[in-house]
Amino acid sequence: MQEAVREVEVAVIGAGQAGLSASYFLHRAGLTGPDGHVVLDGSPGPGGAWQFRWPSLTLATVNGVHDLPGLPFAETLGEHDDPAAVPASKAVPNYYAEYERRFDLPVRRPGRVSVVCDRESRYRVEAEGGVVSARGLINATGTWEHPFVPVYPGAATFRGRQLHTKDYDTAEEFRGQRVVVVGGGISAVQLLDEISQVTTTTWVTRREPRFTEGEFGPEQGRAAVARVEERVRAGLPPGSVVSVTGLLLTPALRAARDRGALQRLPMFDEITPTGVRWADGSTRDADVILWATGFRSALDHLAPLRLREPGGGIVLDGAVPTRVAARPTVHLIGYGPSASTIGANRAGRVAVRELLTELGIR
């Protein structure tokens, strides 16, 4: 029997901020209808990775969620919603759901993509719900599904619990336990702040953290994205947004510092059955090691396209930072300079403009 394959001009993989932004611009460019474009999403509902974030991450503790094009976030918030009380894991999915409805975006769920391969001059996209054949590909699968935990000697011998930020729920579950928090990013310090209020913590980072004073509004967001882009253009690894902005000293973090919770130790050298040990022989006992060590791109489904260079990285075009240099019909958005809501928005717009030009659609 002939396999049913849906043919579209462009397949977008992932419906987080990056994928929705791309879909909006594809829709606006006239790629509507069954053969225009489709967004394949592996999550159970709208919201991208935001639907999985821990409950204490509220609209007051996020850096700020940038508006998607055409619909301000604020319009989807209840008039009396208190930002300190509204979990981002509820408000952002609610916003994305309304966005998908408002612009009638063709998001397919369940739509997890298992593999993408070449099929003559098109891409064969194998997804839950059926195969899609596309001329161009915009990949926006984020990083949430690829938590990164560095390898340290002795990790397997540790008798306590090890978990990654991705598995964090609430500080209460650590009450009375000694917790080592590893990592120097925003998530690390926010979780450290919460956990240090209920129990004893030790904070370790590879580099000395750099704290900054002031505001983090849209202007600072744009400046941070520009600085990460500059690094990419100069051939350097993108680095996280925090690596270029520093950690913003919010009132909560100031209070944590005053409590002594932000006294940082260098990275340990070894994990023991009962804790961690440094090369000079000093130790800390621990019941829990929390790895707030970030994420890596979720790109395994693209492996057959052989986008990776021998060194393991994917080289993006110097002039168009979302375009795979060796494959101008594949764009990756939501990574490096576009790994924020503001960067993802812009990346969606750029990817659509460049891809449609490449495909001769405009």
Helix pair angle (251-259, 186-196), 10° resolution: 60
Q: Would you mind telling me the total number of residues written for the chain in this entry? A: 362
Stretch that binds ligand FAD, among 36-44, 155-163, 172-180, 313-321 (CB under 6 A): 36-44
Least Å from the CB of residue 270 to ligand FAD: 28
Residues 182-221 that bind ligand FAD (CB under 6 A): 187
Question: What whole-number distance in Å separates Cα of residue 229 and Cα of residue 128?
Answer: 34
Q: Can you tell me which of 18, 31, 289, 307 binds ligand FAD, judged by CB under 6 A? A: 18
Stretch that binds ligand FAD, among 77-85, 152-160, 191-199, 332-340 (CB under 6 A): 332-340
Q: Can you tell me which of 6, 28, 112, 161 binds ligand FAD, judged by CB under 6 A? A: 112
Stretch that binds ligand FAD, among 38-46, 71-79, 230-238, 247-255 (CB under 6 A): 38-46
Residues 50-69 that bind ligand FAD (CB under 6 A): 53, 62-66
Question: What whole-number distance in Å separates Cα of residue 263 and Cα of residue 259?
Answer: 9
**E-strand spans in the chain?**
5-13, 37-40, 107-108, 113-119, 122-127, 130-139, 161-164, 179-182, 201-205, 211-212, 247-248, 264-266, 270-272, 275-277, 283-285, 288-291, 323-324, 327-332
Q: Is 238 in the site for ligand FAD (CB under 6 A)?
A: no
β-bridge partners, 132 = 6, 125
Count the site residues for ligand FAD by CB under 6 A.
36
CA-nearest of 209, 172, 166, 193 to 250 is: 193
Least Å from the CB of residue 156 to ligand FAD: 26
DSSP assignment, residue 84?
A: T
Query: Which residues lie near ligand FAD (CB under 6 A)?
Result: 13-19, 40-43, 48-49, 53, 62-66, 111-113, 140-142, 144-145, 187, 298, 301, 334, 339-342, 344
